[in-house]
């Protein structure tokens, strides 16, 4: 499970929901990969393939599930389910 323990978040600085979700993950001091879609344009296609939509943020969890534009409560519930909250 070591290789699959990181959360991946696809987002952009101009996106308010992305900034909110990133701040939540940062506040929890979680180790996650942030993929900036402004810096990595090709990653936008990856995020769209994962979610089936052109909405961000897309948060991908170690169990393979994902959330699109999640609320803070949605993220918190998923982190608790996966026992990832410190």
What are the residue boundaries of the structural domains of the chain, listed by start?
Answer: 2-81
Beta strands 58-60 and 7-11 are: antiparallel
How many C-beta neighbours within 10 Å does residue 38 have?
Answer: 12
Prediction pTM value: 0.91
Domain 2-81: CATH architecture, name and number where available: 3-Layer(aba) Sandwich (3.40)
Distance CA 17, CA 72 (A): 10
E strands present in 12-52 = 32-36
Instruction: Evaluate whether 38 touches 18 at the Cβ level (below 8 Å).
Output: no
Instruction: Evaluate whether 12 touches 41 at the Cβ level (below 8 Å).
Output: no
Distance CA 39, CA 42 (A): 9
pLDDT > 90: percent of the chain: 90
pLDDT in tens, 10-66: 999 999 999 999 999 999 999 999 999 999 999 999 999 999 999 999 999 999 999
């Amino acid at each position: 499970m070591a290789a699959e323990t990181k959360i991946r978040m696809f987002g952009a600085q101009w996106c308010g929901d992305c900034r909110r979700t990133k701040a939540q993950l940062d506040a929890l001091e979680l180790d996650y990969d942030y993929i900036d879609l402004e810096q990595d344009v090709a990653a936008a296609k990856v995020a769209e393939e994962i979610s089936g939509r052109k909405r961000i943020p897309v948060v991908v969890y170690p169990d393979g599930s994902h959330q699109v534009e999640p609320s803070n409560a949605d993220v918190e519930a998923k982190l608790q389910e996966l026992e990832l909250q410190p």
